[in-house]
Copies of this chain bind each other. A is one copy, B any other.
Amino acid sequence: MLVTDTSTYANVTLDPRANVYFDGKCVSHTFHLADGTRKSAGVILPATLNFGTGAPEIMELHSGACRVRLAGSEDWTSYGAGDSFSVPGNSSFDIEVTDPVSYVCHYG
């Protein structure tokens, strides 16, 4: 393997058909680990959006800047590259993106 950067996801299966949400303010690609675990790698462009969850999610940020308010909370928390935040299942969060956010979403 020529790619040695530890911040990449190795040995995955990538679905090239992108998911487009909010008129393109959020775009993601689904991928699966070798054990079948589903994840998605996406981008959220500058905007303020509300995302709902089915399964619990961990949002892992790889670039950009945003602040996030979980459902039921009054507090906004800022996140950037290297940060992650957890969202309960069957819930939602508001996200205000100021610099395009690259993320990997982990489910379950």
Interface residues of A (CB under 8 A from B): 1-3, 5, 7-18, 20, 23-25, 27, 29, 31-32, 34-36, 41-43, 45-46, 60, 62-63, 100, 102-104
Q: How many angstroms between the C-alpha atoms of A11 and B12 in the bound complex?
A: 5
Interchain CB contact under 8 A, A24 and B45:
yes
Interchain CB contact under 8 A, A13 and B9:
yes
Given A13-B3, A29-B29: A63 touches B100 (CB 8 Å cut-off)? no
Interchain CB contact under 8 A, B100 and A16:
no
Residues on the B chain within 8 Å of A31, using CB: 14
Interchain CB contact under 8 A, B16 and A14:
no
Residues on the B chain within 8 Å of A15, using CB: 5, 7-8
Closest chain-B Cβ to A45's Cβ sits at a distance in Å of: 4
Residues on the B chain within 8 Å of A29, using CB: 29, 41
Q: How many angstroms between the C-alpha atoms of A39 and B63 in the bound complex?
A: 20
